[in-house]
Structure 1
């Protein structure tokens, strides 16, 4: 792995696999956003663009543009659950931009969509934390061996980040425990 300031080897296939995982996680809560903002397709577009990259498309401007658009959509959401769902979509498109730096903060690119999706599910269930944990368990089952391998190249998730940061750390520990 190298030191905290070293570089991590990442192939395009690694990035595609991480992005597919992130898109799959974000997709599970897209309905929360769409129920809140039925006319706003920006989070769906971010997830669709993430899938396009994961399935062999190019990593370029459409990913960045749809990620930024999903972020703007989050700001227009009426509920906290819908905001988290839009952030999950933004994170899915952003997963393609995992940096090859041995920094704990990069774990957010791998697990951020899953954590935001889990938080959206919690909030939609009246902040029932057990719903978020169940969501993470489902995400862990969806993580392929390659996603786990990529995750293990990086330092463990950093502290902080509120409940989403906590969810990232829970999923990080669960996936590292598989390896």
Structure 2
């Protein structure tokens, strides 16, 4: 679609706000990964790098490297919940790389950490969807008006993606329904 290729304005402030939101979402499930892999700091390092960028640091190789390292940590985890927690951390560091393209897939940079964190919590709770819904609700309350406004510049979250995709679409719909002051 031609509309999918249009460019969206994104400031460095926008990227920092989105990254702070993603880091806050991922941070709450770091202990899920650390219970599985107590000697592996890669997800925590990724969340730390995300916070550093959000607070004024540079968006460079170190940030990208921590995201890839968290993804490798996810692959080494023994439990599905720990894998999702590490993916939340990877998504937090990756949020800084939101591209200004009007593509639904870019929404993953904004909401991926929240969706993976909700999935991790759901798995820890024995696949309890109410726990995931509570995490989504907390993520909605965590979102700043800037995060919501940036999200609304993009198309709705894409289909697919299994349970994480469902949670992302739930988070997307709830954030888009907010009526924020202009």
TM-score in terms of structure 1 length: 0.98
Please state whether the residue corresponding to 2:177 is helix, strand or coil.
helix
Ranges of 4+ aligned residues in structure 1 off by more than 2 Å: none
Match of 2:40 in 1: 40
Match of 2:24 in 1: 24
Unaligned 5+ runs, structure 1: none
**Cα RMSD after superposing both structures:** 0.8
1:112 has 2:112 as partner? yes
Match of 1:127 in 2: 127
Match of 2:141 in 1: 141
Match of 2:175 in 1: 175
CA distance in structure 1 between the partners assigned to 2:80 and 2:158 by the alignment? 24
CA distance in structure 2 between the partners assigned to 1:124 and 1:136 by the alignment? 15
1:82 has 2:82 as partner? yes
Shift of 1:140: 0.2
Shift of 1:3: 2.4
Match of 1:10 in 2: 10
Shift of 1:5: 1.4
TM-score in terms of structure 2 length: 0.97
Match of 1:59 in 2: 59
CA distance in structure 2 between the partners assigned to 1:76 and 1:108 by the alignment? 22
CA distance in structure 1 between the partners assigned to 2:23 and 2:158 by the alignment? 22
* Cα deviation digits, residues 32-76 of structure 1 (max 9, x gap): 000000000000000000000000000001111000000000011
CA distance in structure 2 between the partners assigned to 1:107 and 1:86 by the alignment? 19
CA distance in structure 1 between the partners assigned to 2:130 and 2:110 by the alignment? 22
Equivalences, count = 178
Shift of 1:4: 1.9
Unaligned 5+ runs, structure 2: none
CA distance in structure 2 between the partners assigned to 1:170 and 1:143 by the alignment? 14
